[in-house]
């Protein structure tokens, strides 16, 4: 049973909506900046991927809205985008019981920090009675379900930087099992507050010492010295292909398979032999009944860290053997949006399949010899793809690989075509 991507919603440092984001990834528009003086993380970290201004409407008004965590706000905004993009109206062209919501992320830790500080300064009375609805990790999904009357499978995924990709994998499984016709899936992350940012900075995991912010994230480059922490949210509408065809809508691409496994190695470091990630990619291909030589492109996890980029390069070599696909990492422009990255990157892989244009790894001036891949760099590459993989790896050894193929709907939507967001 096929699962087609029929809608996309995105808020990222490089833009809003699939068309604007994919165009930025193709043409090298970076969203990485030095935090302005008025930003909460100014002075905490050197660089970040910060969202452009957006209108939250009525979401942050009233007593409840005042403590609604940014992750919840972002999730509701991209849900509106994605459902509109898919032309879906719950209770009209999809039954409330036949649509689900799965949203990953680390939860509302910014709200928790703010409330802890308030209590320390002003005592018990300063703690909001709405605290839990701000910090619980299921709140982005729950709020979306409440807003749209979605009564099907609803869940949160907490697998660190693999969360968004795993939400997509879970959605495919649920559609294949017949539990749902449609699933709104992805992640919402708002990590740009002092404590969370500073833990990465103190671990010396972040890019540092760059005068030009846009040059700091450089996956697979010999000069890379850490990742750039970013915020963002993205949701995809996955739909049983027969349901989409009955509605008369075209898909961007299909999620044809997935792999999910664990390194079982270390809380933060990847397996240096790459075997866990390689096994995950093999699982994804097997899930879709695809041979390695049918996969022409991998959108890599590629965070711009010394250990991670090498481990993934080794893993890709193991998974594909003599056939080496083209590889790029779009985090060079977006920075690392944690769980949201995997959703945007799956969308980029879908765009590459539909358009025949592979987004490059920008700022990859001198590939690290320890990362011997067929790098797409400097400019987009034309390629006719049968299948593509999108990799996401998270702390704890969480590995997710998504297999994407051409849309199985009669017609295909192209992300950068006229009329798309």
101: left (phi over 0), alpha (psi -120 to 50) or beta: beta
Closest residue by Cα to residue 173 from 94, 238, 268: 238
Active site residue 371: no
pLDDT tens for residues 157-176? 999 999 999 999 999 999 99
pLDDT tens for residues 242-252? 999 999 999 99
**pLDDT score for 419:** 39
Residue-by-residue DSSP string for 141-175: HHHHHHHHT--S-EEEE--GGGHHHHHHHHHHHHH
* Segments making up each domain of the chain, as ranges: 3-405
**pLDDT score for 205:** 94
**pLDDT score for 276:** 96
Active site residue 336: yes
**pLDDT score for 420:** 41
Q: Which of 336, 363, 371, 375 is catalytic?
A: 336
**pLDDT score for 67:** 72
Q: Is residue 189 within 8 Å of 48, Cβ to Cβ?
A: no
Q: How many CB atoms lie within 10 A of CB 381?
A: 18
**pLDDT score for 416:** 64
Active site residue 301: yes
Q: Which of 301, 363, 371, 375 is catalytic?
A: 301
Structure tokens given for 83: 């459902």
pLDDT mean values, one per 10 residues, the chain (421 residues): 92 97 97 96 95 89 79 97 97 97 92 89 90 90 97 96 98 97 98 93 94 97 98 98 96 98 91 95 97 98 97 98 96 98 98 96 98 97 97 96 97 69 40
CATH architecture of 3-405: 3-Layer(aba) Sandwich (3.40)
Give dist(CA 280, CA 295) in Å, integer. 14
Residue identified by tokens 């199985």 is 408
């Amino acid at each position: 049973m096929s699962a087609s991507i029929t809608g996309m919603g995105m808020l990222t440092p490089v833009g809003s909506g699939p068309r604007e984001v994919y165009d930025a990834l193709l043409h090298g528009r970076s969203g990485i900046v030095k935090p302005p003086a008025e930003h909460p993380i100014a002075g905490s970290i050197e660089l970040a991927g910060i969202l452009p201004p957006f209108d939250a409407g009525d979401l942050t008004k009233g007593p409840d809205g005042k403590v609604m965590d940014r992750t919840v706000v972002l999730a509701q905004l991209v849900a509106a985008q994605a459902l509109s993009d898919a032309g879906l109206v719950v209770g009209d062209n999809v039954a409330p019981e036949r649509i689900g919501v799965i949203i990953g992320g680390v939860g509302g830790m910014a709200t928790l920090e703010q409330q802890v500080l308030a209590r320390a300064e002003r005592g018990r009375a300063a703690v909001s009675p709405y605290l839990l609805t701000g910090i619980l990790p299921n709140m982005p999904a729950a709020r979306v379900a409440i807003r749209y009357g979605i009564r099907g499978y609803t869940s949160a995924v907490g697998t660190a930087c693999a969360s968004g990709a795993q939400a997509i994998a879970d959605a495919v499984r649920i559609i294949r099992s017949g539990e749902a016709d449609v699933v709104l899936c992805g992640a919402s992350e708002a990590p740009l507050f002092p404590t969370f940012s500073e833990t990465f900075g103190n671990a010396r995991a972040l890019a540092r010492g760059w005068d030009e912010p846009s040059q700091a994230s450089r996956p697979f480059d010999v000069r890379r010295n850490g990742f750039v922490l970013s915020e963002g949210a993205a949701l995809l509408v996955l739909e049983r292909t027969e349901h989409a065809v009955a509605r008369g809508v075209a898909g961007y691409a299909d999620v044809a398979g997935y792999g999910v496994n664990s390194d079982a190695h270390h809380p933060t470091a990847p397996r240096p032999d790459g075997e866990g990630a390689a096994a995950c990619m093999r699982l994804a291909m097997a899930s879709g009944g695809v041979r390695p030589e049918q996969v022409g492109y991998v959108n890599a996890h590629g965070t711009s860290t010394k250990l991670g980029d090498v481990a993934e390069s080794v893993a890709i070599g193991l998974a594909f053997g003599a056939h080496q696909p083209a590889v790029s990492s779009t985090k060079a422009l977006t920075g690392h949006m944690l769980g949201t990255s995997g959703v945007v990157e799956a969308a980029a892989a879908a765009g590459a399949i539909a358009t025949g244009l592979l987004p490059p790894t920008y700022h990859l001036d001198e590939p690290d010899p320890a990362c011997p891949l067929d790098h797409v760099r400097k400019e987009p590459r034309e390629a006719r793809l049968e299948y593509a993989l999108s990799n996401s790896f998270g702390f704890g050894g969480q590995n997710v690989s998504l297999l994407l193929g051409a849309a199985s709907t009669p017609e295909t939507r192209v992300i950068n075509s006229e009329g798309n967001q």
